[in-house]
Amino acid sequence: MTAALRYAAKRLGGGVLQRSKTAIVSEEGRRLPTRLFHTPTKATAVDETNTVVSRLSHIQEKKEELYNLVADFERTYKAPFSISWQNSRLLHQLSTQVEPRPSDPYWRMCRRVQRKTSFFIAAGICSAGLSTGAAMAYGLHWLKKNYSKDLEDWWNKQMRRTGAK
């Protein structure tokens, strides 16, 4: 059982959980693995940068491809509402992440809908926060107005019981 846990921890945490031979001892006496302070050499940094750039460009190509695929589907077929609604939401999200297409009216419509959706979500969050704060302030005011005498009597009773002043 412990071997399985050790193996899982090693898989999840990589080598961070293993103690290295050249552990650094900090002022508090804790052992810190050197891997936390490892800086890549120039050769590995360039290779990693090239890998990251190629992967990001691949992801962007797939987003463009997916946008084109869903947009063509929406324009061509009349799908049931549940599928059409999900595809429309996906299309609106993708419209903010693909290259701008100002000559495409469908892209402009999706972009406009996404901007309005984002605005109304933000406005809803702000108004919900403000109305919650106002309701709490009113509720506290109402409690103080209606129950201040009862609260004062309760507090005095508690103080007499404990003998404190």
CA trace torsion 77, 82, 86, 88 (10° rounding): 50
Across residues 109-126, what is the average pLDDT?
91
| Side-chain-side CA neighbours of residue 4 (13 Å) | 1
Across residues 90-113, what is the average pLDDT?
89
| Extents of the domains making up the chain | 45-130
Q: Tokens 């063509």 sit at which residue?
A: 72
Share of the chain above pLDDT 90, in %: 18
Mean pLDDT of the residues in the chain = 78
pLDDT digits (tens, 9 = 90+) for 18-73: 444 444 444 445 555 555 555 555 556 777 888 888 999 999 999 999 999 999 98
pLDDT for the residue 60: 93
